[in-house]
């Protein structure tokens, strides 16, 4: 019983510290489809930034909600990167591509044309 309580406490502590956990089916679908180590590093960094923006700790949380809500959140995040983080157009394109890849690999259908035009 004590070990279970310790694991639960550690999990709660990790969530309190906003530790991002990159594992599970959603992450595996995303990561295994990337061939280039450079792309992997860049896309994971952009995925982490989105998770941090949303205060998510697991990639499965990114799949929760209706596609319209997910799309709206992505647009808010890209605007945040553009207006508050002052990322270059190239960096915004990479951030969008990383998120598009994650959602495409997890069979979430979003209207990317209007999302990327934001």
Q: Are 47 and 30 in contact (CB under 8 A)?
A: yes
Question: CB–CB of 92/55 below 8 Å?
Answer: no
How far is residue 36 from each of residues 31, 41, 97, 103, 105, measured CA to CA in Å? 10, 9, 14, 19, 16
Mean pLDDT of the chain: 88
Residue 53 CA to residue 80 CA, distance in Å, equals 9
Structural domains of the chain, with CATH = 2-116 (1.10.150)
pTM, two decimals, is 0.82
Q: Is the pLDDT of residue 13 over 80?
A: no
More confident residue, 13 or 41: 41
Q: Are 81 and 92 in contact (CB under 8 A)?
A: yes
pLDDT of residue 8: 53
């Amino acid at each position: 019983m004590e070990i279970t309580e310790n694991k639960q406490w550690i999990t709660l502590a990790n969530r309190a510290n906003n530790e991002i956990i990159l594992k599970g089916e959603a992450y595996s679908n995303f990561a295994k489809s990337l061939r280039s180590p450079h792309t992997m590093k860049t896309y994971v960094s952009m995925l982490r930034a989105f998770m941090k923006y949303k205060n998510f700790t697991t990639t499965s949380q990114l799949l929760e909600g209706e596609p319209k809500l997910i799309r709206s959140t992505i647009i808010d995040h890209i605007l945040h990167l553009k207006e508050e983080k002052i990322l270059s157009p190239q960096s915004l394109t990479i951030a969008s591509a990383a998120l598009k890849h994650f959602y495409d690999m997890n069979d979430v259908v979003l209207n990317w044309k209007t999302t990327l035009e934001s």
